[in-house]
């Protein structure tokens, strides 16, 4: 009897484990369960995404360093004002020139006018310099007629855009009206007061082109005559309405060239 019991126990031990297992593969299990060590079990949950940085923080550098705050959005940068084009300027103007009042009534008709200005720039808004303006006039009774203005000049500049300027100017100095005809020469000279305005556009940093307009008021104090019949000079009464000579004017394009730093 003991022999039979021992044989039975040995046979029970030697039976393969697969006979007692609940499953041998995933298909032996119901639903989405899988076979784990001979038993059906629910599958392990899939791993979630890696946690991101906290709000308002950017990922830190490689190597596990602490995160740092997100950089602020770029601020709206102010428009940079252009540098002044240069310390010195040479301005060349060419256009039409004439006169009004008694000068026009005397028969002087408009012709060509040319102007040269040398300017020194004082900062962004002011210029000082010297101008020479020559206006050629036409008269049937004269061979050559011109008005010459040599005067210091001061300008105020108003920037409209980085490449566009408007300016106003005052000039005061020597003014001469010279007429040469078949019988001799007559000229009047004295003080002249000028007012000008213009607009100019910078083609490049040191070159600008524009248009300008000038008016000149003569205050002649002396008139000289050198003819066959008469020779000499006499004073002119500028307060006498009969000596109202009118105004000289010039309008036309100009080009300005800047030099220096």
Residue 255 has pLDDT above 60, yes or no: yes
- Which region, left, alpha or beta, applies to residue 38 given φ > 0 means left and ψ of -120 to 50 means alpha? left
Tokens of 87: 């310390």
Counting every residue, how long is the chain? 261
Q: Which among 207, 210, 138, 149 has a CA at the least distance from the CA of 179? A: 138
Show the beta-strand stretches assigned E in the chain: 34-36, 39-41, 57-58, 68-69, 88-99, 111-122, 126-137, 144-161, 164-181, 184-204, 207-227, 231-235, 248-259
Question: pTM of the full predicted structure?
Answer: 0.65
CB 135 within 8 A of CB 147: yes
- HEC states along 34-58? EEECCEEECCCCCCCCCCCCCCCEE
Helix (H, G, I), strand (E, B) or coil at 11: helix
The gap from C-alpha 171 to its chain's centroid, in whole angstroms, comes to: 28
Residue 211 has pLDDT above 90, yes or no: yes
CATH of domain 88-259: 2.40.160.20
Q: How confident is the model over 61-99, as pLDDT tens digits?
A: 555 445 555 555 555 555 444 455 678 999 999 999 999
The gap from C-alpha 106 to its chain's centroid, in whole angstroms, comes to: 47
Confidence at 237, pLDDT banded by 50, 70, 90? low
Tokens of 117: 């200005």
User: Measured between alpha carbons, how far is 4 from 155 in angstroms, rounded to an integer?
Assistant: 132
CB 216 within 8 A of CB 149: yes
Helices marked H in the chain: 2-14, 17-20, 101-105
CB 239 within 8 A of CB 219: no
Provide mean pLDDT across the span 91-113.
91
Output the pLDDT for position 62: 52
User: Measured between alpha carbons, how far is 89 from 209 in angstroms, rounded to an integer?
Assistant: 12
> What are the sequence ranges of the domains in the chain?
88-259
Lowest mean pLDDT among 71-85, 114-128, 182-196: 71-85
CB 152 within 8 A of CB 132: no
User: Measured between alpha carbons, how far is 105 from 101 in angstroms, rounded to an integer?
Assistant: 6
Confidence at 2, pLDDT banded by 50, 70, 90? low
Residue 207: strand pairing partners: 204, 257
């Amino acid at each position: 009897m003991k022999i039979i019991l021992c044989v039975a126990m040995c046979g029970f031990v030697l039976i393969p484990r697969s006979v007692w297992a609940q499953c041998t593969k995933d298909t032996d299990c119901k639903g989405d369960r899988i076979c784990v060590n001979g038993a059906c079990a629910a599958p392990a949950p899939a791993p979630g995404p890696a946690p991101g940085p906290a709000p308002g923080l950017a990922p830190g550098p490689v190597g596990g360093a602490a995160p740092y705050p997100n950089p602020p959005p770029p601020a709206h940068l102010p428009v940079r004002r252009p540098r002044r084009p240069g310390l010195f300027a040479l301005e060349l103007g060419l256009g039409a020139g004439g006169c009004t009042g008694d000068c026009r009534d005397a028969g002087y008709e408009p012709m060509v006018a040319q102007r040269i200005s040398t300017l020194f720039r004082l900062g962004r808004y002011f210029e000082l310099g010297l101008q020479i303006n020559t206006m050629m006039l036409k008269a049937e009774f004269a061979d050559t007629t011109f008005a010459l203005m040599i005067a210091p000049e001061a300008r105020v500049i108003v920037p409209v855009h980085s490449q566009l300027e408007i300016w106003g100017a005052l000039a005061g100095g020597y003014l001469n009206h010279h007429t040469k005809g078949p019988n001799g020469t007559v000229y009047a000279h004295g003080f002249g007061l000028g007012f000008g305005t213009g607009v100019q556009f910078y083609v490049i940093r040191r070159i600008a082109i524009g248009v300008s307009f000038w008016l000149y008021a003569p205050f002649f104090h002396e008139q000289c005559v050198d003819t066959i019949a008469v020779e000499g000079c006499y004073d002119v009464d500028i307060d006498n309405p009969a000596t109202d000579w009118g105004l000289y004017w010039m309008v036309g394009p100009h080009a300005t060239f800047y030099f220096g730093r």
